[in-house]
Amino acid sequence: MRRVITLGLAALVVGCEDGSVRTPASTNPELGLATAASGVAIVDLGTLGGPSSDAVSINDRGQVVGSSFLRSGESHAFLWTEGGGMTDLGTLGGLHSYATGINSGGEVVGTSGTASGVGHAFVWTEHEGMIDLTPGQRSQGLGVNDRRQVVGVRFTGSGLRAFRWTRQDGMKDLGTLGGNSSVAQAVNDVGEVVGYSATPPSGEEHAFLWTPQNGMMDLGTLGGPTSFAFAISNDGMVVGASVVASGALHAFRWRLGRGMTDLGTLSAGFSTAFGVNELGEVVGESGLRAFRWTERDGMVDLGVLPSGRARDISNPGTIVGSITTTSGNNRAVLLTSGPPR
């Protein structure tokens, strides 16, 4: 699911690593961005002290999650707010962690290393801190909805298995499309899950939609052998990427009764869709260029330079992701305004 944000004054400031703010000029020299050319306002979310950070999800309250390097070289999950800046969420005892989703209640999901060096899915809350969802078993937490349902992947003796976890029922194996592996990437507030699964007999991965009523459904491809689903809206619109007949990877949108639609590419010839909002606006990356796709305008380059990736979009149209700085590092950002909607 993709979240709503009312950004307010955050659209007018750029956050610095020391916690101060400044009004952005048309070009931010450190980020290497020419914002005036595309009309996109850049909000720099900073880092946890290291050179790089990446933002991947945003909720209704404007809270952003992702991961950032520390000065010591480890990477940790973070929670960013307009008032408090970037907060280190810590780990489960290991060196690294990263956050991949947040619901409107502020619950964060992701993956953290443990003292033994194995990655485990986690849920983080303000009052409980970081909770290990699979003690003793390797796993990744990838999505969460407003019903506090968590999805991700467990590493089992028979292969990767998509899961849904709740506090009431614990871990549920979502099965596969007949192959030996599956990964759940996102869940909407209806409880519908999307991801990808191996298919028989070749083992090629196909995007899937899982529902409590019907189980796992193969969404097919755009003519090539593989496809991957990464996000789903509350009305069941699925986005991701599929290999086409030529062998290139193209972003897609899938809807029940309409099937899979090729969203095209920018000049690079390949693309991936990572996020979708309730208006049907899609964001992603095409040839290291961040894009937004709409029914009216098709795929539009957001114009961030030298390169960028859009990971999530809110209903008001605020985009979260990362850009590449002039020094070659990634930086977590919010993108606001942009082409007319």
Q: For 277-336, how does the pLDDT look when each residue is reduced to its tens digit (9 = 90+)?
A: 999 999 999 998 999 999 999 999 988 766 889 999 988 788 999 998 888 899 999 988
Asked if residue 24 is part of any domain, the answer here is no
φ, ψ of residue 118 to 5 degrees: the values are -95, 140
Residue 145 has pLDDT above 90, yes or no: yes
Residue with tokens 């894009």: 291
Number of domains in the chain: 1
In this prediction, residue 4 carries a pLDDT of 31
In this prediction, residue 22 carries a pLDDT of 29
Asked if residue 145 is part of any domain, the answer here is yes
Residue 233 belongs to domain spanning: 37-337
Please, is 224 exposed, middle or buried when counting C-beta atoms within 10 Å of its C-beta (0-12, 13-18, 19+)?
Answer: middle
Asked if residue 197 is part of any domain, the answer here is yes
Asked if residue 53 is part of any domain, the answer here is yes
Which pLDDT tens digit goes with each residue over 81-119? 999 999 999 999 999 999 999 999 999 999 999 999 999
Asked if residue 120 is part of any domain, the answer here is yes
Distance of CA 193 to the CA centre of its chain: 14
CATH number of the CATH domain containing 200:
2.120.10.30
Number of H helices, E strands in the chain: 1, 32
Asked if residue 90 is part of any domain, the answer here is yes
